[in-house]
Structure 1
């Protein structure tokens, strides 16, 4: 077996998984996805990072927008707005179908991991998509405006509040979803990758679930992270802003230090010149704008893992 396991969340992570799926059989990829962003809105259970990956791998993603479905319609949201409903979180008509099905299944006792597997099969997605846990974990952001649930901070407030700390409520009571630990620790894997997702908001929730960090430490195959920093900034999202507010230097050294106990190598952008990194590293153009870019970064991450294995 030459399976690759990826810890992922958000758009950047979905791009890397898509690149991997174009350079190797999708069936040989396992994506462990952040669910700290999950929340209930208007009575619907929403899993933004899982849905981004489902849309991306099925070819349904709105790539220009960076979230949601391509060719979406907005009749529901318009009707909701007319009635004075909360419209800060955009729910498209096609997107709504996914949330309704998931909510119905969860209310009838089906675990999230089983629901995600069924949705992936419906869209002929070969990659195994696993939520980090079937138990609820909520990313909470302590800010100068008080404590905000992640989506309120990220979507409603557009990451404007100053962040003081990030917490993951429910993490200590959660357990990894079925198959997660087995996938990470499988000695026949080719590599375990940490996607260039926000380390603090997208990857840390995964690592907060008891057993997952330990599995990364115990696995005998190379663990490689792709740094989200390019030219001293993050391409998308609040990574750089968040790091500055938490008093962390925005550079590859900080990313390497953050993952130091769980990674063997770090893939960094060729535009930067990191010095004295505490882990092995390699350079590549890590900006992912096209499909070829995604494949290039995936190949570079696997090449670093192969070098570490050798």
Structure 2
């Protein structure tokens, strides 16, 4: 841990933008440091209806990760899980490509019941987080439906069909966020980003194209970030020219982009104040437009998650101090 990271004195609030597994790891580290001063705005472009139930994969991953209930072996779902429901579904000849564990199933059933009763998703997730003992505020990016669609040579695929059923095999030609034009940030998201005590916004190392872009596609979200008055720091998901997890590198290649930190910086151009990259990629810093901070970004342990969170926060605070000194 660098001296700058170990001496951070974050007293205000922090907002993190987050997708699923990779982003949730950093959100966990931030939550260990900040507690109830952290708000996590989570992608809901992955949400879909399956077997008559409303599934929110990224929200649930964040809930399980921050509560300590996550299945660390699989990287998704709950720990100490059983699969009797899926086994019976298979016996019945039903679809089993998207697996729902018995414990996990209860969350989907209750969320679906409340949504049909008219409770907004934001309120449902807040109640779940409280039940799980999570201090941080966890917010869906919007209460309106936004659906990520992956356009391939085979046609347009709903995100979960592409990601889970097809295991990201089809070539990506375009990514759409259907319904985004009719969505809006919730009052809670607006309040979090408009908080005068906001000290930093951290974009977690989630897939920029599949997990962060749906959040940014919600009308008004970019403006909220630009007007937040706090530095916006992104943590790159690229290490050594490869994505740590998931199809980020494959998608970048198919969209004609090199899997580099420079490409990630270009993707977030005009939105972020600085980019956190892996220390092994420090030689790339000169090619990146804007301030960078190099540190170890691979998160294998809980201590790694907290250390990277401290590095990102320390970087953001230094950027804020430099801006204040220049004005």
* 3-state SS in 1 of match to 2:252: helix
Matches within 5 A, 1:238-249: 238-249=247-258
Aligned match of 2:325? none
Structure 1 ranges of 4+ moved more than 6 A: none
Measure the CA separation in 1 of the matches of 2:113 and 2:19: 24
Q: In the alignment, which of 163, 177, 184 is matched to residue 168 of structure 1?
A: 177
* Corresponding position of 2:313: 302
Q: Structure 1 residue 187: deviation in Å?
A: 2.9
Instruction: Tell me if the contact between 2:198 and 2:228 (Cα under 8 Å) persists in the aligned partners.
Output: no
Q: Where does the alignment leave 5 or more consecutive residues of structure 2 unmatched?
A: 1-10, 322-327
Aligned equivalents of 1:62, 1:292: Cα separation in 2: 18
CA RMSD of superposed structures (Å): 0.8
What is the distance in 2 between the residues matched to 1:97 and 1:116?
14
Which residue pairs with 1:8 in the alignment?
18
Indicate whether 1:268 and 2:277 are aligned: yes
Other structure's SS at 2:187 match: coil
How does the TM-score come out when normalised to structure 1?
0.98
Give the structure with the larger helix fraction.
Answer: 2
2:129 to 93, 96, 120: 120
2 CA distance for matches of 1:159 and 1:65?
17
* Residue 88 of structure 2, aligned match among 57, 60, 79: 79
| 1:235 corresponding residue in structure 2 | 244
Counterpart Cα distance in 2 of 1:243 and 1:184 = 29
* 1:99 and 2:108 aligned: yes
Q: Is 1:113–1:178's contact at 8 Å kept on the other side of the alignment? A: no
Cα distance in 2 between the residues matched to 1:184 and 1:294: 23
* In 1: Cα distance, 2:58 partner to 2:12 partner: 25
- State how far apart, in whole Å, the 2-side matches of 1:253 and 1:208 are: 22
User: Map of 1:33-72 to 2, 5 A cutoff?
Assistant: 33-72=42-81
Which one of the candidate residues 180, 190, 209 is aligned to 1:181? 190
Paired with 2:98 and 2:20, the residues of 1 have a C-alpha distance of 16
Give structure 1 stretches of 5+ with no counterpart. Answer: none
Which residue matches 1:135?
Answer: 144
Number of aligned residue pairs: give it: 309
Match status 1:279 vs 2:290: yes
